[in-house]
Structure 1
């Protein structure tokens, strides 16, 4: 299996911490829903810089955090996480088999990560491989309609320059119905699944958000083209996300939250 660390890693832990700390601070109740037990082994998919992973590790017997970005994994280790590894979540089943983790986890947790994996069937199959029978999945990810104004603006700006903007999107934002079917077909019993809006006021501005999360859209463009696209996207989004009164930027996040059990 090719190591994700050998691939281009454009993630910036410093950008993430400065522009997007809300990703780990807003959904604190997700860890409460996970409710880690002292005897449990838990897998955290898309651990990022390890803020939530570290919390979970203090509450259970063992928590392994995985992330495709070697830079984010290094940041998680620097933050005190005990066991974090560079793993591509889209190849989770292959990793679990090669490392002897088939059916060994009591729970799988993921926050704001699974929508970065294009092959949703593969990651759900990987989760099923990792879980014990009766084990639980607790996750939150972007759902249908998430950051829609940015996604449409980015596609439009890229289309104008001869690219297929929609095809360059790094995200998959499933509907509640689509994800329910995906889990049910993979032998999960859904305890709860909810799609809900979460308007999110940015700690900095839209450029900072794009630098942090939108970089994969434009990673293959030259510097001038990148700058032109970013400026155009900001102008297109401004009427919907910018508040002239206080100079703040608010993005409409839509989250898909799931609790399910392997049966």
Structure 2
């Protein structure tokens, strides 16, 4: 049987791009770790650990923190910065992984930042989280919410549709409303302590091309080089009126975040 780790497909993530173009992903939500409030005796699972910047911090505060990510390259980058236990695991197959590992004990908490919206099958990942947690265990997550990077997503879809592709089907993201995610968690026996959706206008450290290179690859990874370049240029032009400031040359994207704290009943 294929393992949750062996099912990982071609890895298009670039740790160097992530660090250079998108370090804000791990530096802005530092208060999320405060909300997690790791305890010295706890076992914590970090889903979508990326290059491990937040995982490393959590590992210093608790008994054990395992970071998992679908990208082997990002897991390798997390190991380079000193993360003790990070593994290549497909979050959509989280339940299978937990069962296959035969852990002696489940986790006190599950943490995730800016990762769960990359998983289309949310029922699967929520069921996996439920399997991971002890009774009363907590879930502390932040992910993209309804309306997140909306201008870019719509522009990517439009540019691809124009060329005969089904742009919407190529979008890798799931950006739920507060109501949708509340229903999803409640159905899986979670009691929600707080759930908030809020805008987070974010200035890019570089530019929109760098952002697309870092996060937009699922839309265009199967295009040839010329078509890929044409799509990127067209998307930049479509987005410019809303995300580019000609006065100072800055690029600002409207992020919308969904933040949840819940406990397993």
- Assess if the C-alpha contact under 8 Å between 2:45 and 2:110 holds in 1: yes
Aligned to 1:186: 188
* TM-score, normalising length: structure 2: 0.98
Aligned to 1:177: 179
- Could you report, residue by residue, the CA deviation over 1:32-87 in whole angstroms, capped at 9, with x for unpaired residues? 00000000000000000000000000000000000000000000000000000000
Aligned to 1:69: 71
67, 76, 80: which one pairs with 2:82?
A: 80
Aligned to 1:204: 206
- Assess if the C-alpha contact under 8 Å between 2:4 and 2:89 holds in 1: no
- Assess if the C-alpha contact under 8 Å between 2:8 and 2:70 holds in 1: no
Aligned length: 263
Aligned to 2:24: 22
Structure 2 gap segments, 5+ residues each: none
33, 36, 39: which one pairs with 2:35?
A: 33
- Assess if the C-alpha contact under 8 Å between 1:4 and 1:69 holds in 2: no
- Could you report, residue by residue, the CA deviation over 1:122-148 in whole angstroms, capped at 9, with x for unpaired residues? 000000000000000000000000000
- Assess if the C-alpha contact under 8 Å between 2:4 and 2:96 holds in 1: no
Q: Partners in 1 of 2:229 and 2:22 — Cα distance?
A: 21
Q: Secondary structure at the match of 1:217?
A: helix
Q: Partners in 1 of 2:104 and 2:182 — Cα distance?
A: 23
Deviation at 1:7, TM superposition (A): 1.7
Aligned to 1:246: 248
Structure 1 gap segments, 5+ residues each: none
Aligned to 1:220: 222
- Assess if the C-alpha contact under 8 Å between 2:8 and 2:90 holds in 1: no
Q: Partners in 2 of 1:2 and 1:64 — Cα distance?
A: 16
Q: Where do 1:7-156 residues align within 5 Å?
A: 7-101=9-103, 104-156=106-158
Aligned residues: CA RMSD: 1.0
* TM-score, normalising length: structure 1: 0.98
Q: Partners in 2 of 1:257 and 1:4 — Cα distance?
A: 31
Q: Secondary structure at the match of 2:219?
A: coil
